[in-house]
Amino acid sequence: MNPQFISIEGLEGAGKSTQRDVLASWVTERFGQPMVTREPGGTVMAEQIRGVLLAHHEEPVDVWTELLLVFAARRQHLSAAILPALSQGQWVVSDRFTDASYAYQGGGRGIPWDHIVDLERRVLEGFRPDLTLWLDCPAEVGLARARQRGELDRIETEDIAFFERCRAGYERRCQEDPQRFVRLDATGSIESVSAALIQALEARYS
């Protein structure tokens, strides 16, 4: 089998980082250690862009500036980290990828879907994850978990309606690409979500 690129998606507090580790262990046992990465970020330069994106700024952040920054970071992440790993036969597991731009900048911020489709086509030249595990939960469930951590980044200070629009954006992506997306109910315990995730992996790769 070709090395696979698997993304994990979901709202703040859905459990992406927690389940990413479960996913990475599963891949390690069967196909060797994957490259584990995240977005925005994943390279030194892309992590610097992440810092700009998530910081609080005195000036208003234009929605297009936000979209172009996430895609700039993604292009760098793809060319400097993801593609080199895949070409060496290593699986890649990423905490978020392009679907987050559809969810947050499309659903959340209201940038027309077609503009993101166009940007994705030009910037990523058709590159997509082989499998996307969407940890789905109501915004209030995820935010309650995430907010226990304390200080909020710029995006985390948005209101609940924003995150419900992001969730609707993920739903739309899921419907548009049902072969690639697996939706997992993220409202249960960590253990039950891990079990569902492993079941999805077994179904796809065994």
Q: Of 3, 6, 15, 184, which lies in the binding site for ligand T5A, with binding defined by CB under 6 A?
A: 15
Determine the number of helices (DSSP H) and then strands (DSSP E) in the chain.
9, 5
Q: Is 3 in the site for ligand T5A (CB under 6 A)?
A: no
Distance (Å) of CA 169 to CA 81, 102, 129, 178: 27, 6, 17, 14
Q: How far is the CB of 195 from ligand T5A (least distance, A)?
A: 11
Cα separation, 6 vs 25, whole angstroms: 13
Q: How far is the CB of 89 from ligand T5A (least distance, A)?
A: 26
Judged by CB under 6 A, does residue 18 bind ligand T5A?
yes
DSSP codes, 147-167: HTT----TGGGS-HHHHHHHH
* Near ligand T5A by CB under 6 A: residue from 5, 104, 134, 170: 104
User: What is residue 11's DSSP assignment?
Assistant: S
* Residue 42 binds ligand T5A (CB under 6 A): no
> Contact with ligand T5A (CB under 6 A): which of 5, 7, 12, 131?
12
Q: At what angle do helices 16-31 and 190-205 cross, to 10 degrees?
A: 40
* Tokens describing residue 98: 């392009």
For ligand T5A, the closer CB: 100 or 139: 100
101 touching ligand T5A, by CB under 6 A? yes
Tokens representing residue 75 in the block: 């292009």
Identify residues 161-200 at the interface with ligand T5A (CB under 6 A): 186, 189-190, 193
Residues making contact with ligand T5A (CB under 6 A): 10, 12-18, 38-40, 70, 95-96, 100-101, 104-105, 145-146, 155, 186, 189-190, 193
